[in-house]
Amino acid sequence: MILLHGLARTRWSMRSMAAFLGQRGYLVANPGYPSCQYPIETLAQSTIPPAIAALRRQGVKTIHFVTHSMGGILLRAYLSRAPLPELGRAVMLCPPNQGSELVDYFGRFFWFRYLLGPAGRQLGTGPDHLPARLGPATFPVGIVTGNRPAFGLARFFPGPSDGRVSVARAQLTGMEDMLVLPHGHCLIMRHRQVQEQVAWFLANGRFARVA
């Protein structure tokens, strides 16, 4: 199991998810990476292969992924270039799979480009931005996103959003399942409801739903 945090975050943001999955028997690699310093392709190549190697050394035969936000784009970028024979299932939390309108708006400002670096600038919604160039999913993936934006951020989106990514733009062609829950972007990975849904998808290939 490999966890990938999001833009301007650290591995500690995924700590509760790592603990939850560890309690369910998964061997978890939770690497950190300098998300604001390099392009996404560079980050993917420097972060994911060492985590894969660490799990292989421990005898892991199936490697699942759980990502938050830009971590999902790292995974897509990596898998677009490198096959992974042990690849199992992936759950993406609030991924900007079709970019984010916030990047479209704030990307013109120097302070945004300075703070979030080259990777942040790659996450716009245009056809030349990286998410649009990565293509559909070619692996089993489920997506959980939120619809509770922080105060003042809803105005940047034409429809429901988590305050960073719209529900519509979290979707990915080829995904197995998608679930929208009443949470915001930044802390969605810490909610027990979300963690339980992640574990359910990893085990069953679908999210659990109450009739």
**pLDDT given at position 183:** 96
- Band the pLDDT of 210: cuts 50, 70, 90: low
Letter for the amino acid at 49? P
Residues 133-145 have pLDDT tens digits of 999 999 999 999 9
Residues 66-108 have pLDDT tens digits of 999 999 999 999 999 999 999 999 999 999 999 999 999 998 8
Mean pLDDT along residues 37-58: 98
Residues 139-198 have pLDDT tens digits of 999 999 999 987 778 888 999 999 999 999 999 999 999 999 999 999 999 999 999 999
CB count within 10 Å of CB 167 equals: 18
**pLDDT given at position 77:** 98
CB 24 within 8 A of CB 200: no
- Which secondary structure element, helix H or strand E, spans residue 92, and what is its range? strand 87-93
Bridge partner residues of 178 (DSSP) = 143
**pLDDT given at position 105:** 92
Residues 146-156 have pLDDT tens digits of 999 877 788 88
